[in-house]
Structure 1
Amino acid sequence: MAEKNNLTTSWGAPVGDNQNSMTAGSRGPTLIQDVHLLEKLAHFNRERVPERVVHAKGAGAHGYFEVTNDVSKYTKAKLFSEVGKRTPMFIRFSTVAGENGSADTVRDPRGFAVKFYTEDGNYDLVGNNTPVFFIRDAIKFPDFIHTQKRHPQTHLKNPDAVWDFWSLSPESLHQVSILMSDRGIPATFRHMHGFGSHTFKWVNEEGEGVWIKYHFKTEQGVKNLASDVAAKLAGDNPDYHTEDLFNAIENGDFPAWKLYVQIMPLEDANTYRFDPFDVTKVWSQKDYPLIEVGQMVLNKNPENYFAEVEQATFSPGTLVPGIDVSPDKMLQGRLFAYHDAHRYRVGANHQALPINRARNEVKNYQRDGQMRFDDNGGGSVYYEPNSYDGPTESPENKAASYAVSGVADSVAYDHNDHYTQAGDLYRLMNDEERTRLVENIVEAMKPVSKDEIKLRQIQHFYKADPEYGTRIAKGLGLQVPQQV
């Protein structure tokens, strides 16, 4: 006879009755001594961790990254060390602004967060499906995200806030133009590119560095959804992208991306025509061509969504030797904000959860904290320096230095051309793509209640390209302002 599969409490004791609470007589009241009931209710109340402030709705998958081109002369990072090397990884795709129950097919950037489990620890590459972002200084991020959330009185989305902020933040124009284009609604997570967006630094074994940008190119081809099709899917199947990714992997149709980098010599940062650390700008691929690095393949679905996708934590500050950050002001803020968000949302020991845990041994002096579920360091030495052979630093893995200068002050980037690249993007589009872009913007701006906001934004479109601004003004029944 097969052994009986007994239900137990969370502390392992067998449960005698899971259908009836313990009461004083058949009518009650319920007794507080029914600890199984109390435990079930208390745990149920805590089953949901706070959802992410941004990127709340998402889907994830496991896979591997395989090096296909030798880039070891640029970086000593072990995951890129030799052709044919495979590194296990996990990815989470997401929408940005919506809540956990929102539709997958809304017009929104998509998060593209990759965790590589390397022998030197985890490396997180936390980007989007766009090469640029709306703002370039982290101090503006809370305000920007507030505009994407609900009005504090009506609890409705607020187009006035969205376009008021964008019209007063001209650096957003490039990303707004991408968002409102065909690329604003990917057909699936599989049919979109991914980008590190920020500028990062690679350092080789000799301590020589280069600035780099990451580009993941989908091997499924880029496909997008028309606005009307996306709207219908949002009502018919709000989990369309989540379902598509799961089914593709389940059916053995493993999605893949080729990883490329652009490489810029360190000294070029001082002379390039755009500030290379400004995340609202791209580097021309004519100036810095794409160099192949490897291929990412997704071949395994999560076994449990909460344990693996919801509890997965990513931060651009999760780095390994050979990969470092740049002075990008938006990136610098994210280095703090992401780890801090995870400490609040998941807990101080979020890095120890199975989905986040490094595959190599973790050795440090961090102890205690909520939900510490390993041996907490046992009886080993818990401070440093010490004379008990505790782990010590390895100077060869110290981050490479770079020169800084200037006066401590709250200042903007020196370069303030927010229009050239947005205009170039508009002119790269064919007539049909331009028409859809204009129509999408017009429809998005129609609900804005103040003409002042519309006119201010039209000025930005006009400065990027006169035709761009004129067509949007016409669609809104307005004239391009005289002062542009």
Structure 2
Amino acid sequence: MSAKGKDNTNTADVRDDRVVTNSLGNPLNEPYATQRIGQHGPLLLQDYNLLDNLAHFNRERVPERNPHAHGSGAFGYFEVTDDITDICGSAMFDTIGKRTRCLTRFSTVGGEKGSADTVRDPRGFATKFYTEEGNLDWVYNNTPIFFIRDPSKFPTFIHTQKRNPQTNMKDANMFWDFLTTPENQVAVHQVMILFSDRGTPASYRTMNGYSGHTYKWSNKKGDWHYVQVHILSDQGIKNLTIEEATRIAGENPDYCQQDLFTSIEKGKFPSWTVYIQTMTEEQAQKFPFSVFDLTKIWPHKDYPLRRVGKLVLNENPKNFFAQVEQAAFAPSNTVPYQEASADPVLQSRLFAYADAHRYRIGPNYAQLPVNCPYASKFFNPVIRDGPMNIDGNFGSEPNYYATNTNYQFIQQDRPIQEHQEVWHGPAIPYHWKTDAGDIDFVQATDLYRKVLSKQEGAQERQAHNIGIHAAAASPEIQERVIQMFTRVDKELGDNVRKVINAKNAEENAKL
């Protein structure tokens, strides 16, 4: 859009009379006719309508996400139910009852776009809020923690969850080799969750979402807190057993996609209640582990949940590719008073996600309708040009901040970070690996002994799920798996060994 007025050209116009044309608007006489020499002779290169059709077909796919390729999405709204303006000054929270339109995309992490969505895998839970202060993305998962806290390990970790470069098959050795390496056993709590019942949700509607990362939220006075966000399903938690998930994966690989779409189509709109946990800087300094540790949860008894609002999904996309496949979520998409913390994995995501979208969709991906900040609008004459620019490119506006042009900068109207955290120290290479102590196993042990023990059969299913999967690995890797879970709880380690031995005996009997 030009700064001096909107161009009256609408690049999204579609003919109302439904006359079929080629991509440049030239009407087609007959859709399947091709120009050729005689009735049965070779084709002519001048047949642009044919070339237009075939050439676009060759390019109609964009690269799939890596990871989170298989996903489903729906539109809805977030409604404020409780006043948290003492914690956060973002405009979306300023009034009880205020609604902000949003888009939520759910996904599996490790599988390809055509893989099954009931497999054992973490689920993505990403929401884009179209706020009056710009687009805000909460790019979360359905687990409150993650496998790593060293961001440099992320590509390696994801590789081990995908396919062996020689066999092109999923590989249990790769999977467990990474996770059982002593320095990587910081992942054990997340692995416990992954191989619990919650590792195979029955639907996207019946699972929670969590920020995982610690964020920094400020109020308009400049007071700030560390914050974690919990999005809890109002439908309750429902899961599949490993046998149910495997069966459904073969019968309907889009089971969760179908469940979400059908539920909304029938008017059964899923909803989640949003809560936050907050922590002061002083509390963080006394915390038994780093507030930036993505592999740890904050105990609810010490940091209780505080209700914020309601997330409701009530509108299916009209076109999946345009509104879900092209949707671009990034933790760097934020609004005033909601900031990233110094969590190193979160810091790396601030770059990686937006960069992935520029590769996958193009440098002007934010101009697409599903991604554009239509509630706040966009003006920055320095960010322009590039392939597929569709917003008028600012017309005759100078492409730099010209001295004879009036610009408004409102940063000075709100508090900034300079009076908050202060960091000192040399630039050093730091590997945040699992130490020799047991602190990285404490919460995993608590999950097994204090949570799963209260759910009938949950501990047995945990051992069963681990053992069935690990039995496909080599004997050496199997032993490492057993030893890691023995460190969580001896009973768990013993039961995993029994399942592995039984599965191996079953396979040997087939030979």
Q: Which residue of 2 aligns with 1:412?
A: 431
> 2-side partners of 1:477 and 1:15: how far apart?
67
**How far apart are 1:414 and its partner, in Å?**
8.8
Q: Is the 8 A contact 2:73 2:106 kept in 1?
A: yes
> 2-side partners of 1:415 and 1:146: how far apart?
21
**How far apart are 1:387 and its partner, in Å?**
2.6
> 2-side partners of 1:98 and 1:399: how far apart?
40
Task: Look up the SS of the partner of 1:126 in the other structure.
Answer: strand
Q: Which residue of 2 aligns with 1:376?
A: 393
Bigger CA drift: 87-96 or 29-38? 29-38
Change (3 A) 1:270 1:413: farther
Amino acid paired to 1:375:
G
Matched, 1:161 2:174: yes
> 1-side partners of 2:487 and 2:403: how far apart?
62
Q: Which residue of 2 aligns with 1:202?
A: 217
> 2-side partners of 1:72 and 1:199: how far apart?
19
Q: Which residue of 1 aligns with 2:480?
A: 456
Change (3 A) 1:24 1:390: farther
> 1-side partners of 2:202 and 2:347: how far apart?
32
Matched, 1:242 2:267: no
Q: Which residue of 2 aligns with 1:421?
A: 443
Bigger CA drift: 138-147 or 382-391? 382-391
Change (3 A) 1:441 1:33: same
Q: Which residue of 1 aligns with 2:379?
A: 363
- 1:28-427 aligned within 5 A: 28-168=41-181, 169-358=184-373, 359-364=375-380, 365-384=382-401, 386-392=403-409, 394-397=411-414, 399-401=416-418, 402-413=421-432, 416=435, 417-427=439-449
Q: Which residue of 1 aligns with 2:4?
A: none
Task: Look up the SS of the partner of 2:102 in the other structure.
Answer: strand
Q: Is the 8 A contact 2:144 2:211 kept in 1?
A: yes
> 1-side partners of 2:376 and 2:23: how far apart?
30
> 2-side partners of 1:297 and 1:249: how far apart?
10
Q: Is the 8 A contact 2:130 2:136 kept in 1?
A: yes
Amino acid paired to 1:434:
Q
**How far apart are 1:237 and its partner, in Å?**
1.1
Task: Look up the SS of the partner of 2:353 in the other structure.
Answer: helix
Change (3 A) 1:466 1:389: same
Aligned residues: 475
> 2-side partners of 1:45 and 1:398: how far apart?
50
**How far apart are 1:456 and its partner, in Å?**
2.2
Per-residue CA deviation, residues 101-155 of structure 1 (Å, 9 max, x unaligned), is 1111101111000000000000000010000001112100000000111111111
Q: Which residue of 1 aligns with 2:40?
A: 27
Per-residue CA deviation, residues 149-178 of structure 1 (Å, 9 max, x unaligned), is 111111111110000000011011011000
> 2-side partners of 1:386 and 1:372: how far apart?
26
Q: Is the 8 A contact 2:150 2:432 kept in 1?
A: no
Q: Is the 8 A contact 1:105 1:241 kept in 2?
A: yes
> 2-side partners of 1:385 and 1:426: how far apart?
62
Q: Is the 8 A contact 1:264 1:288 kept in 2?
A: yes
Which residues of structure 1 form unaligned runs of 5+? Answer: 479-484
Amino acid paired to 1:429:
L
Q: Which residue of 2 aligns with 1:18?
A: 31
Q: Is the 8 A contact 2:70 2:108 kept in 1?
A: yes
> 2-side partners of 1:284 and 1:332: how far apart?
24
> 1-side partners of 2:423 and 2:488: how far apart?
33
Change (3 A) 1:51 1:414: closer
> 2-side partners of 1:260 and 1:130: how far apart?
15
Q: Which residue of 1 aligns with 2:9?
A: none
> 2-side partners of 1:314 and 1:128: how far apart?
13
Matched, 1:443 2:468: yes
Q: Which residue of 2 aligns with 1:482?
A: none
Task: Give the TM-score taking structure 2 as reference length.
Answer: 0.90
**How far apart are 1:393 and its partner, in Å?**
5.3
Task: Look up the SS of the partner of 1:92 in the other structure.
Answer: strand
Task: Look up the SS of the partner of 1:360 in the other structure.
Answer: coil
Per-residue CA deviation, residues 273-320 of structure 1 (Å, 9 max, x unaligned), is 121111111000011000000000111000000000000000011010
Change (3 A) 1:349 1:156: same
Q: Is the 8 A contact 2:180 2:481 kept in 1?
A: yes
**How far apart are 1:224 and its partner, in Å?**
0.3
Q: Is the 8 A contact 1:77 1:320 kept in 2?
A: yes
Q: Is the 8 A contact 2:220 2:415 kept in 1?
A: no
Matched, 1:476 2:500: yes
**How far apart are 1:399 and its partner, in Å?**
4.1
**How far apart are 1:476 and its partner, in Å?**
2.7
Q: Is the 8 A contact 2:118 2:256 kept in 1?
A: yes
Task: Look up the SS of the partner of 2:205 in the other structure.
Answer: helix
> 1-side partners of 2:176 and 2:233: how far apart?
31
Task: Look up the SS of the partner of 2:422 in the other structure.
Answer: coil
Task: Look up the SS of the partner of 1:201 in the other structure.
Answer: strand
Task: Look up the SS of the partner of 2:125 in the other structure.
Answer: strand
> 2-side partners of 1:337 and 1:474: how far apart?
42
> 2-side partners of 1:394 and 1:385: how far apart?
19
Q: Which residue of 2 aligns with 1:465?
A: 489
Q: Which residue of 1 aligns with 2:509?
A: none
Task: Look up the SS of the partner of 1:469 in the other structure.
Answer: helix
Q: Is the 8 A contact 1:203 1:400 kept in 2?
A: no
**How far apart are 1:391 and its partner, in Å?**
4.7
**How far apart are 1:463 and its partner, in Å?**
1.8
Q: Percent identity?
A: 47
> 2-side partners of 1:11 and 1:293: how far apart?
49
**How far apart are 1:446 and its partner, in Å?**
0.2
> 2-side partners of 1:333 and 1:400: how far apart?
19
Task: Look up the SS of the partner of 1:341 in the other structure.
Answer: helix
> 1-side partners of 2:58 and 2:414: how far apart?
44
Task: Give the TM-score taking structure 1 as reference length.
Answer: 0.95
